[in-house]
Amino acid sequence: MFGKKITVTYIANSGVLVTSKKKQILIDGLHQSSAGFYHSTEKKTVEDIILGKAPFNSLDMLLFTHDHSDHFNAAYCREALKRNKHLQVVAPQSAAEKITSSPDYNEELKNQIKPIEASQTKPIVLSLKGIDIEVFSLNHDGASGDTTVNNAYLIQLGKKTMMFLGDAKADDSNFEAARVYGKPLDALFVPFTFIGLSAGREIIKKISPKKLIVVHLPDKDKDTNNLTEKTKAAYSKYSSDFPETVLFEKIGQQIVI
């Protein structure tokens, strides 16, 4: 059995490291953002992940919600897989293809890569390396929403359940159709947009997690539109609508679930 406590460490943007007593998963945490106002994974952290150095020396899985540069980097993934033969990647097909399409891709890595996409009305359930995962298809927010596959993941480690939405659009009908509602959650990880949008707040209320973690906040030094402060203001205004909430702003910030 897993230990009862789960530690979550903020890596960059939506990237988090989830660590239990026996398992370790990195979600959306290996990337180099081309959107300059979002955090990229720090160079030293990228190196430590690829080389399997602490605190990433027990890493079982790299899990990606979608293939955008502020969540995923194919070259980094290839190097991590080459150097860590036990490591698995779970990602949408588009991300997997970016890993395998490079001239320096080695077919020996094939068994370490699991492309997976759910339909918008039926989640996919799998168990990989002793980790139970449920995959939901949720529309990506923004202009690329029609073309970007965005996987949301529900992960169970021992008795703790966590859901990661990626860049999901705050669309109640999509969440309803994808069968997201009704899942007991210890923690829900949402993009900051869900705090300011009434539709996002309603989705959070329907999911009703024990703890809410807000990610994808801009780099404060490049936040010219003051999105972080606007998010904080919205949270303050509607605080009664939320469960216990943590905003991941500082790289290395940790919470225990």
Q: Is residue 44 domain-resident?
A: yes
Indicate the Cα dihedral angle 72, 44, 190, 230, nearest 10°. -120
CA distance 145 to 148: 6
- Average pLDDT for residues 111-135, to the nearest whole number? 96
Domain count, the chain: 1
- Whole-number pLDDT of residue 104: 85
Q: How confident is the model over 10-66, as pLDDT tens digits?
A: 999 999 999 999 999 999 999 998 877 899 999 999 999 999 999 999 999 999 999
pLDDT value for 1: 37
Residue 195's domain comprises 7-256
What phi and psi values does residue 228 have, to the nearest 5 degrees?
Answer: -65, -45
Q: Over the stretch 96-106, which tens digit does the pLDDT of each residue have? A: 999 999 888 98
Is residue 166 situated within a structural domain?
yes
Query: Do the domain assignments include residue 103?
Result: yes
> Per residue in 196-253, pLDDT tens?
999 999 999 999 999 999 999 999 899 999 999 999 999 999 999 999 999 999 999 9
Residue 2 lies in a domain: no
- The enclosing domain of 211 has a CATH number of 3.60.15.10
Residue 100 in tokens: 């395998």
Look at the alpha carbons of 77, 81, 87, 93 in this order and tell me if their dihedral is positive or negative.
positive
Determine the 3-state secondary structure of 49 from DSSP: helix
Is 218 inside any structural domain? yes
Q: Is 114:153 a contact under the CB 8 Å cutoff?
A: no
Is 124 a domain residue?
yes
Mean pLDDT of the chain, nearest integer: 95
Model's pTM, two decimal places? Answer: 0.95
Q: Check: CB of residue 217 under 8 Å from CB of residue 231.
A: yes
Residue 208 lies in a domain: yes
Task: Note whether residue 1 is domain-resident.
Answer: no
Average pLDDT for 155-184: 96
